[in-house]
Amino acid sequence: MSQRTVYLYVLDTLADWEPSYVTAELNSGRFFRKGAPKLAVKTCALSREPVTTMGGLRILPDLTVEQIRLEDAALLLLPGGDTWLEPSHAPVLAKAGEFLAAGVPVAAICGATMALAQAGLLDERPHTSNDLGFLKQVCPGYKGEGLYQDLPAVTGGGLITASGMAPLEFARLILQRLDVFSEKTLEAWYNLQTLKEPQYFFALMQSVAPQ
């Protein structure tokens, strides 16, 4: 089975916690269902220079945005950060448009949703963000108010969006979209993370045990 790639865009001020739940599972594959597609998580940025996250971690990108290969892409993952409304991110927003046009999913959380709104990529797709009023205030070009959903995370039109307060809901929708967990595994994994009760740990282990 050929390996497909999840491209994680990294930028200075990246909110470390927002993509971490899903990247840990996609990279490790520890709870993947039998026959799930093999995935590689690769970081991409505007250049190969190191970026510094909000937590002070330095990341050396694997490749540049220009080097992204749409033909082997499984998902483009856009985490939050404090600089998303700066024009320097135009190349990755253009790439997001290419992904959506080609039917390859894009997942954006927190500040990344504002950049997508400003780029017009939320105008025709169900979506959410941190707050509709704030989104309209900071993104004067945004015309998608009628499709805004006041939910932690939303999927529609090949796009997954989430509030910065919902990294687990964001991860659940991505795992579901990529079809790497069984339904029982995904339910147990999410319940364990949110409810933190031992019964869901055992349910999770049972769901991936060899039959």
Number of C-alpha atoms within 13 angstroms, CB side, residue 24?
11
Count of residues for the chain? Answer: 211
Q: Is the alpha carbon torsion for 198, 202, 203, 207 positive or negative?
A: positive
Choose the catalytic residue: 110, 116, 153, 162.
Answer: 110
By the 10 Å C-beta count (0-12 exposed, 13-18 middle, 19+ buried), 126 is classed as middle
Q: Is 18 in a helix, a strand, or coil?
A: coil
What is the spatial distance between Cα 211 and Cα 181, in angstroms, rounded to a whole number? 16
What's the CA gap between 5 and 23, in Å, rounded?
Answer: 12
Residue 110 falls in the annotated catalytic set: yes
Q: Which residues pair with 43 in a beta bridge?
A: 8
Kindly list the distances between the CA atom of residue 142 and the CA atoms of 113, 137, 139, in Å, as whole numbers in the listed order: 11, 9, 6
Cα 198 to Cα 23: distance, rounded to the nearest angstrom: 23
Q: Which residues are catalytic?
A: 110
